[in-house]
Structure formats: structure tokens, C-alpha cells
């Protein structure tokens, strides 16, 4: 999966959103108490702490935590720790957490202890494989132009599965990516065109319009590895991938952690097939899909 910071922030917010009784806000601003300027906070968490002094005498104290997400390609250094510590002091937070996928250098780790910053390592594989995000309680339609001035409630997406849902007002198709859990919409004008997941996780989607009035559209989903295998073979004149090339693509995705053969997604549906020479060849059916995937576009409604 690519290191998309917006996707990373959203997923980390969802993880902290599981804190019971806490108010979790994403991408908020506060005026710094020392700098007197707006300070951007990736995730702000308010946790009510109940202090019980006995004899039916207790009171709540709001504890403020801030979480700074650093989707870096290498371990964070001392500069990042000092930056987060400065933000914590300026907005008067009780606790600061810095979340990163690639670790933290030893000097930065020692500095974090001194300034009260708590580093947490959350890798992309941990998010994509271990963590299963539930569907949100409310998903607003990304197609309807709702302004709060209408005489009806906001259009809501009704999910028929973990992947596919429709707006209860315009019936617009909404997708929840099985790779990265990003939610976006595919408009009717985008049917019969390959659509890339806007989070750039590598997944590709294709919608065939209904033939009859009482039928629904048909959704085809190509997870990141399947799309990479098809397109990698398609751009080669031989239309084949060697075992070494296949292994290299597998290691770029989360699918190397699964038990069943990673290439099952393309071989089971006849898009690619193994030959006696051990190479993975693109079939005629696979070539048709690969051509669409190569020309995939981002969705209009996201």
C-alpha cells in the first residue's frame, strides 16, 4: 500500500474512535495559548476522568490528548518530537501521542521520554490486515447536493454489504474499499470505466450498468495485487510474469500475509494462468480487464 497521509490519518482516527466515552475529533484547530495563532491538531481526544472522593462526592475532569500522525517513509527524528511537544504545550494538552508507521530513532525515543510525548508505531500492514473497521453509523451521500435547507433529513447510504451501498434518496452507488476502507461514490456517468480507489491503495473498481429496469448494477472489484499483476503483464510484449516478478509484486502488498495462494484472485477467475514453465500468463479475458485498469481514473465524488 502507498504511504498516503490522508488515508493514514483517517484510519488512525477510526482506531482512537473506539475509545469508550471519549470525544474524538479529526483535523481541528485551536488558538495557541502562547503563540496566539491557529494550531492544527490531527486528532483531538477529550476523555472524561471521574475523580471520586467518597461519600457521594465526585467530579469529572476533562483530560485532553492530542495525536499527531506522521506517515513518513523512514523513522521519525528528534525534530518531530520537539514539534509535537511544542504543540502539546501551546494548546495545553495533558498528553501528546505521535503515531508513525516506520518507527522512531533512538535519540528521538529518548527525547520523547524527556518532553512527555508518547510514540506509537502503527504499520500499514497492521491497519490493513489486523484491524477491521466497522461500517460507520451514518454515511452521508456523496452525490446528493444536500445543503441543510431541504425539508427532509440528510440523504444516507444504506449498506447492502461491507463493500456496496446505495443512497436512500438518489440511489447512488457508494463503495467501501476492501483494501483500505475508504468510502467514495461512483456516479452513473462513470459506469463501464475503471475507477481507482482515491486513497491510492491500488484497488480498482468497475461497474456494469443494469440491463433491465428491475436489475441492479454489477460491481467488479480488483484488489491491489490483482490489479498490479494484470497491468504488469499487460505492458509486456510477452504478456507473462516470471516467478521472481510475481514475488516482487506480492511483497509490495498486504496479501503476502494471507494463508491461501496470493495469485488466486487472478487465476481463479481465469484472468491469468500458470504454464508448465512456471510463468504466469495473461489470458484473453485478463487482457480485456488489464486494458481497462491501465486507463483507470479517480472517482468524481469523493
pLDDT at residue 109 is higher than 60 = yes
What pLDDT score was predicted for residue 128? Answer: 61
What pLDDT score was predicted for residue 1? Answer: 41
User: Could you tell me if 175 and 273 are in contact, meaning their C-beta atoms sit under 8 angstroms apart?
Assistant: no
| % residues pLDDT > 90 (the chain) | 61
Residue 232: C-alpha distances to residues 118, 197, 228, 265, 296 (Å) = 41, 18, 6, 15, 14
Q: Per-residue pLDDT tens for 151-170?
A: 778 899 999 998 999 999 99
User: pLDDT grade, residue 296 (50/70/90)?
Assistant: very high
Mean pLDDT value across the chain:
89
CATH architecture of the domain covering 5-130 = 3-Layer(aba) Sandwich (3.40)
Mean pLDDT of all residues in 175-186: 88
For the chain, what are the domain ranges?
Answer: 5-130
CA distance 264 to 176: 22
Q: Per-residue pLDDT tens for 181-206?
A: 889 999 999 999 999 999 888 899 99
0.85 surpassed by pTM: no
What pLDDT score was predicted for residue 2? Answer: 45
Is the model more confident about 228 or about 50?
Answer: 228
What pLDDT score was predicted for residue 129? Answer: 55
Q: Per-residue pLDDT tens for 31-85?
A: 999 999 999 999 999 998 888 887 778 778 889 999 999 988 889 999 999 999 9
Half-sphere exposure of residue 91: CA atoms within 13 angstroms, side-chain side: 28
E-assigned strands of the chain? Answer: 23-31, 38-52, 58-69, 95-100, 117-121, 157-159, 164-167, 173-176, 183-186, 195-196, 204-208, 218-222, 240-241, 272-274, 280-282
Rounded to the nearest 5 percent, the helix, strand and coil shares of the chain are 30, 30, 45
CA distance 8 to 184: 16
Range with the largest mean pLDDT of 3-7, 51-55, 199-203, 209-213: 199-203
| % residues pLDDT > 70 (the chain) | 93
Amino acid at each position: 500500500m502507498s504511504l498516503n497521509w490522508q488515508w493514514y490519518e483517517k484510519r488512525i482516527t477510526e482506531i482512537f474512535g473506539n475509545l469508550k466515552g471519549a470525544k474524538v475529533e479529526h483535523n481541528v484547530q485551536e488558538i495557541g495559548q502562547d503563540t496566539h495563532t491557529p494550531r492544527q491538531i490531527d486528532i483531538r481526544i477529550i476523555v472524561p476522568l471521574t475523580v471520586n472522593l467518597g461519600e457521594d462526592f465526585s467530579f469529572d475532569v476533562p483530560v485532553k490528548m492530542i495525536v499527531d500522525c506522521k506517515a513518513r517513509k523512514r523513522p521519525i527524528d528528534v525534530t518531530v518530537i520537539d514539534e509535537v511537544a511544542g504543540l502539546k504545550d501551546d494548546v495545553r494538552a495533558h498528553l501528546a501521542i505521535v503515531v508513525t508507521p516506520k518507527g522512531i530513532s533512538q535519540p528521538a525515543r529518548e527525547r520523547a521520554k524527556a518532553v512527555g510525548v508518547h510514540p506509537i508505531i502503527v504499520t500499514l500492514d497492521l491497519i490493513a490486515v489486523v484491524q477491521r473497521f466497522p461500517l460507520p453509523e451514518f454515511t452521508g451521500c456523496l452525490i446528493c447536493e444536500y445543503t441543510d435547507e431541504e425539508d427532509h433529513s440528510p440523504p444516507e447510504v444504506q449498506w447492502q454489504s461491507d463493500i456496496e451501498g446505495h443512497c436512500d434518496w438518489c440511489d447512488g452507488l457508494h463503495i467501501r474499499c476492501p483494501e483500505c476502507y475508504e468510502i467514495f461514490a461512483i456516479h452513473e456517468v462513470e459506469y463501464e470505466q475503471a475507477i481507482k480507489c482515491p486513497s491510492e491503495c491500488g484497488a480498482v473498481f468497475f461497474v456494469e450498468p443494469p440491463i433491465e429496469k428491475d436489475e441492479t448494477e454489477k460491481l467488479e472489484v480488483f484488489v491491489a495485487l490483482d490489479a498490479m499483476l494484470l497491468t504488469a503483464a499487460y505492458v509486456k510484449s510477452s504478456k507473462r510474469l516470471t516467478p521472481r516478478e510475481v514475488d516482487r509484486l506480492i511483497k509490495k502488498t498486504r496479501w503476502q500475509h494471507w494463508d491461501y495462494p496470493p495469485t488466486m484472485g487472478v487465476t481463479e477467475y481465469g484472468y491469468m494462468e500458470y504454464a508448465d514453465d512456471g510463468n504466469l500468463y495473461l489470458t484473453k479475458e485478463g487482457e480485456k480487464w488489464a486494458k481497462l485498469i491501465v486507463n483507470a481514473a479517480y472517482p468524481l465524488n469523493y
